Chains A and B, each alone.
Chain A
């Protein structure tokens, strides 16, 4: 079974982003970029399925600028077999991403698509669910455990009250949550090997998918900041403040 893993190039999670002074967006000039952490978990999950003999091929796909090739190389260094880059310099919203991924899935015919539950830039948490909808497939979101069976998968999901286990028919879309696995660091030999793995490049506009944004971004602002309060020196003082000043006890 082939596993398709969509990966997104995003600002590295360690970078403290800055809003542009004219409120036109977030300043991304010369900022360190990396693979979206949730997508890294997806790649790890797919590679583990291959190592366990349950998947035959892991194909990474990214939609974005030419530089997203670096992101695909990260996935290849972790163990993906080959990659597809759908190039575009436009902002592509989750719905358009899902439509492009559907095109890729129609050609590649994977048995499973594993995708991060959200990207840490726009925090939308939509792509996997939308892709499942467009394909007419089952979805298992926020996965903390994936067990493959015959033409089906049991997926344990992180939900509000704890955990829920569901069974989905394959092919299906699974979105990954934090506790699914701890992604490996790519070894140097694997990083070198990844440079020789094939990346097929296509232009998004050639796929015949309408990618025009549906949302107009009017403004991007700094969040309201909270002022630091005071330091108290003892438990007694803390309780006194909470009772008399804050009135919350």
Chain B
């Protein structure tokens, strides 16, 4: 039977994480339908229709679906779930919100944040903040799965399939959207950037964070991340947090500045291709995973680094 892949998008563009979750879906089966649920999301649906390996795109359009509210989105997915034996999505904030609701409504377990497909019903997933990897086999007739996108390469564009409209389910009317405070910047998205530069508590203030980290990010065309300590201290916004409970990234180059390397943080970046650590403390655990370590004060080194680029 077919696979339903829930797309991550902002109505205008499709997230790179969907192309990565598609790669996981293609390891499970071959008939893949991508569900784009939103409001005026034709552009995002158009992008989904071009991805290699997609059989069909389903576009659901309604006001209730405009802001990823869990209840109407779950109702929609459940209303079309009969035709699928696997329902899958990249483990974004939106999918982490809605997919367990879908699983419970279908009375099946969810397999969260898989990092590998062993067979169509068996998957690997990290537990204990990535300190152990569990292989689990589902016994339910329907599988609900979220995918740690950083663990899979994105599927390329290459196809061109039909976009079919589907009816939104009735909105249960339990919640309503008030407002978004979404940070906008010209920098690439954290989860899909080729280079990420992250700052830790050593930055000392949000002003210093901006002053020292951002110029290097601009020069490199890098996304900016932060440790949990830096976010908790208010030096960086929550959506910059890299780690087990924040974003999991796997860029070509990850530059950790003034980050000690708590297990929690390592879980979010240790699959990066190359890791650079800059820290005053030569014993910081971050050096145990870094390809290139520089024991130095980041306030001295980063401006020099920026100038030399």
Q: Which residues of B contact A (CB under 8 A)?
A: 10, 67, 69-71, 74, 92-94, 96-105, 107-113, 122, 126-140, 172-183, 191, 194-195, 220, 228, 231-232, 237-239, 244-245, 247, 252-253, 263, 270, 273-276, 287-295, 301, 304-305, 308-309
* Contact across chains for A216 and B176 when beta carbons are under 8 A apart: no
Q: Is A64's CB within 8 Å of the partner chain B?
A: no
Q: Are A139 and B101 in contact (CB under 8 A)?
A: yes
**Which of under 10, 10 to 19, 20 to 34, or 35 or more describes the interface residues of A?**
35 or more
Select from chain A the residue with minimum beta-carbon distance to B174.
A138
Please name the residue on chain A nearest to B183 by beta carbon: A162
**What per-residue 1/0 map shows which CB atoms of A206-225 lie under 8 Å from chain B?**
00000001111111111100
> Contacting B134 at CB < 8 Å: which of A130, A161, A219, A230?
A219
In terms of DSSP, what is the predominant structure of the interface of chain B? mixed
Q: How far is the CA of A124 from the CA of B113 in the complex (A)?
A: 8
Q: Is the CB of B137 within 8 A of A216?
A: yes
Q: Is the CB of B179 within 8 A of A165?
A: yes
Q: List residues of chain A with CB within 8 A of the CB of B253.
A: 242, 246, 248-249
Q: A126-B110, A160-B247, A214-B109 are in contact. Are A141 and B128 (CB under 8 A)?
A: no
Contacts of B295 in A (CB 8 A): 231
Q: Chain A 111-129 against B: per-residue CB contact (8 Å), 1 yes, 0 no?
A: 0000001101111111111
Which positions 122-151 of chain A face chain B at CB distance < 8 Å?
A: 122-134, 136-142, 144
Contacts of A214 in B (CB 8 A): 108-109, 138-140
For A134, give the chain B residue with the smallest CB separation.
B104
- A interface list, Cβ under 8 A from B: 11, 16-17, 19, 26, 93-95, 98, 117-118, 120-134, 136-142, 144, 154, 157-169, 172, 177-179, 213-223, 226, 228-236, 238-239, 241-242, 246, 248-249
Across-interface contacts of A133 in B (CB, < 8 A): 74, 100-102, 104-105
The answer to whether A232 touches B109 (Cβ under 8 A) is: no
| Distance, CA A178 to CA B226, complexed state (A) | 14
When distances are taken between beta carbons in the complex, the residues of chain B under 8 Å from A177 are 238, 245
Q: Are B252 and A142 in contact (CB under 8 A)?
A: no
B94 to chain A, nearest CB (A): 7
Most buried by A among B132, B232, B304: B132
A228 touches B289 (CB 8 A): yes
Are A239 and B305 in contact, with the CB atoms below 8 A? yes
Residues of A within 8 A of B134 (CB): 217, 219-221
- Closest B residue to A95 by beta carbon equals B109
In Å, the complex CA distance between A166 and B71 comes to 12
B63 CB, nearest partner CB in chain A, Å: 14
Q: Among A94, A216, A223, point to the contact of B126 (Cβ < 8 A).
A: A223
CB atoms of A140 and B180 under 8 A apart: no
Whole-angstrom CA separation of A157 from B273 in the bound complex:
31
Find out whether the CB atom of B135 lies under 8 angstroms from the CB atom of A11: no
Q: Are A217 and B135 in contact (CB-based, < 8 A)? A: yes
Question: Which of A121, A134, A230 is in CB contact (< 8 Å) with B293?
Answer: A230
**Least CB distance, A80 to chain B, in whole angstroms:** 24
Q: What residues of B have a CB within 8 angstroms of the CB of A220 in the complex? A: 127, 132-135
